[in-house]
């Protein structure tokens, strides 16, 4: 064999070797590819299973969150309401949704009879509700819950030989029952009772939820009861205040009454210096009237007269200080001060004189044509002491001082049908009144004469 032949044979062998190696390598690649495909398939399967599990978990989490949100909203509605019927209705909705309770009731204890009757129910007829009247002595699961003051559930009771005979007994059936307590005393206010459920069994979570609902109901009913008591107390106080006003208003002016009722210091003895206007009015010829009229007639006439005058004073923001026999003392600027106290006093005096004419006509129809009735009015402005005078057991809101005496002295010289005013009062109303200046008069208790004016009318 020649060298070329040897080279050719070697070359062919090399080619065959390389071909074999290529075939072997291709087979290895093919096995590796199959292996890779298998791994990829398993990875894909694992991812799919993971996604399904994640989706399932997310769905369960969403459902749980929705349930918790719904539960939270219902609980919030229960505790935020003050209406017992609204509270009970929401509780029944929650029990029906979460515990499949189709029939339930909330019993409430009567404080006097100690009987438990239906406050609200779900699944009861009107006749069933009205027929329920339970005591703590009733041989039933509700009776046991009341006596033992603990939460009762039928599954636990059925395991107890001692109380098993109570199952199904009593006026209402019981699956779960929980006492509701007063927050202040701890005494039993009522009982939350599930009478029937759609499902035959229940879990510990269901029992825990029932306990939570009964606790929330207890808080809500106590809040409702507190609100109701506060409302009743408020209404009671309002009625008492109105009664006090009705009675007290017959003795003092509305302004004085309001000050006494609204001010904590209003019933303290003492007074303050204040510039006010004092008006005094007196019936002329009252002594002669008293000789003609019977006592009952005098009282009737004075009551009629004082009613008319008081109405005029009140309309003009004055305060009737007191009645002195047939005289009236009126204050303007105490206890309540305004910017128009002097003018209000002037208008009051003029309206009183106008009203007397009508009053006189009325009593002429009763006493005859010769009947006459007139009043004299005196008005003064000045510093006085106003406040509560007297003792701790008997006091009177009034004004005292020299300027009060001046008002009465001026009134004493005023002819019937006239209004006399002092210089100090005239200074307050000079822009609103037409007057006739009179001679100064001597007033008891003062050395200097007092300048007076006779009121003619308003400008």
Per-residue pLDDT of the chain (459 residues; tens, 9 = 90+): 566 666 565 666 666 555 556 555 555 556 556 656 666 666 566 656 656 665 555 454 444 444 445 555 667 777 678 888 988 988 898 888 888 888 999 999 987 888 999 999 999 999 999 999 999 899 999 999 999 999 988 888 888 877 888 888 899 999 999 999 998 888 999 999 999 886 667 888 888 888 888 888 888 889 888 888 888 888 888 787 777 667 656 555 666 666 666 655 544 556 789 999 999 999 998 888 888 888 888 888 899 999 999 999 988 989 898 999 899 999 999 887 888 999 999 999 999 999 999 888 887 777 777 778 899 999 999 999 988 777 767 777 789 999 999 999 999 999 999 999 999 999 999 999 999 999 998 877 777 889 999 999 998
- Report the candidate in 342, 454, 322 with the shortest Cα–Cα distance to residue 386: 322
- Report the candidate in 119, 147, 149 with the shortest Cα–Cα distance to residue 135: 147
- Report the candidate in 455, 419, 241, 458 with the shortest Cα–Cα distance to residue 330: 419
Secondary structure (3-state) at 433:
strand
pLDDT value for 168? 85
pLDDT value for 176? 93
Rounded CA-CA distance 168/154 in Å is: 9
Neighbour count for residue 113 (Cβ, 10 Å): 10
Asked if residues 286 and 324 have their Cβ atoms less than 8 Å apart, the reply is no
Residue 295 CA neighbour count, 13 Å, CB half: 0
For residue 375, which phi and psi values (nearest 5 degrees)?
A: -130, 150
Rounded CA-CA distance 83/151 in Å is: 25
pLDDT value for 248? 56
For residue 400, which phi and psi values (nearest 5 degrees)?
A: -135, 155
Q: Is 130 exposed, middle or buried (0-12, 13-18, 19+ CB in 10 A)?
A: exposed
Secondary structure (3-state) at 365:
helix
**Could you check whether the bond before residue 229 is cis, i.e. omega within 30 degrees of 0?**
no
pTM score: 0.53
Rounded CA-CA distance 203/259 in Å is: 65
pLDDT value for 18? 59
């Amino acid at each position: 064999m020649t060298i070329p032949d040897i080279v050719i044979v070697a070359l062919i062998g090399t080619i065959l070797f390389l071909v074999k190696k290529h075939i072997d390598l291709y087979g290895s690649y093919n096995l590796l590819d199959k292996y890779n495909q298998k791994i990829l398939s398993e990875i894909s399967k694992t991812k799919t299973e993971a996604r399904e599990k994640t989706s399932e978990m997310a769905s369960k989490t969403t459902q749980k969150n929705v349930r918790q949100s719904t539960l939270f909203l219902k609980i919030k509605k229960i505790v935020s309401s003050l209406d017992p019927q609204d509270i009970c209705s929401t509780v029944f909705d929650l029990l029906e949704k979460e515990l499949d309770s189709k029939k339930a009731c909330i019993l409430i204890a009567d404080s006097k009879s100690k009987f438990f009757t239906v406050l609200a129910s779900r699944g009861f007829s009107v006749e069933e509700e009205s027929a329920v009247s339970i005591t703590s002595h009733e041989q039933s699961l509700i009776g046991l819950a009341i006596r033992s003051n603990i939460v009762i559930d039928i599954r636990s009771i059925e395991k107890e030989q001692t109380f098993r005979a109570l199952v199904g007994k009593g006026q209402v059936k019981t699956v779960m029952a929980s006492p509701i307590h007063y927050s202040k005393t701890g005494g039993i206010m009522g009982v939350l009772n599930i009478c029937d459920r759609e499902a035959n069994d229940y879990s510990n979570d269901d029992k825990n939820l029932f306990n939570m609902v009964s606790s929330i109901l207890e808080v809500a009913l106590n809040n409702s009861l507190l609100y109701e008591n506060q409302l009743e107390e408020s209404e009671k106080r309002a009625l008492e205040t109105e009664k006090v006003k009705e009675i007290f208003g017959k003795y003092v002016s509305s302004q004085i009454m309001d000050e006494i009722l609204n001010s904590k210091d209003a019933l303290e003895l003492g007074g303050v210096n204040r510039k006010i206007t004092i008006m005094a009015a007196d019936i002329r010829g009252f002594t002669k009237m008293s000789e003609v009229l019977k006592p009952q007639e005098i009282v009737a006439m004075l009551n009629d007269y004082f009613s008319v005058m008081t109405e005029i004073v009140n309309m003009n923001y004055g305060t009737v200080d007191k009645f002195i026999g047939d005289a009236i003392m009126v204050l303007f600027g105490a206890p309540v001060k305004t910017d128009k106290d002097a003018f209000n006093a002037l208008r009051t005096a003029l309206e009183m004189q106008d009203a007397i004419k009508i009053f006189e006509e009325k009593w002429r129809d009763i006493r005859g044509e010769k009947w006459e009735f007139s009043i004299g009015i005196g008005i003064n402005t000045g510093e006085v002491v106003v406040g509560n005078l007297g003792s701790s057991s008997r006091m009177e809101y009034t004004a005292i001082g020299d300027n009060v005496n001046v008002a009465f002295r001026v009134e004493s010289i005023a002819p019937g049908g006239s209004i006399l005013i002092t210089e100090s009062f005239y200074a307050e109303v000079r822009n609103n009144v037409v007057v006739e200046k009179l001679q100064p008069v001597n007033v008891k208790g003062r050395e200097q004469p007092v300048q007076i004016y006779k009121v003619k009318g308003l400008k």
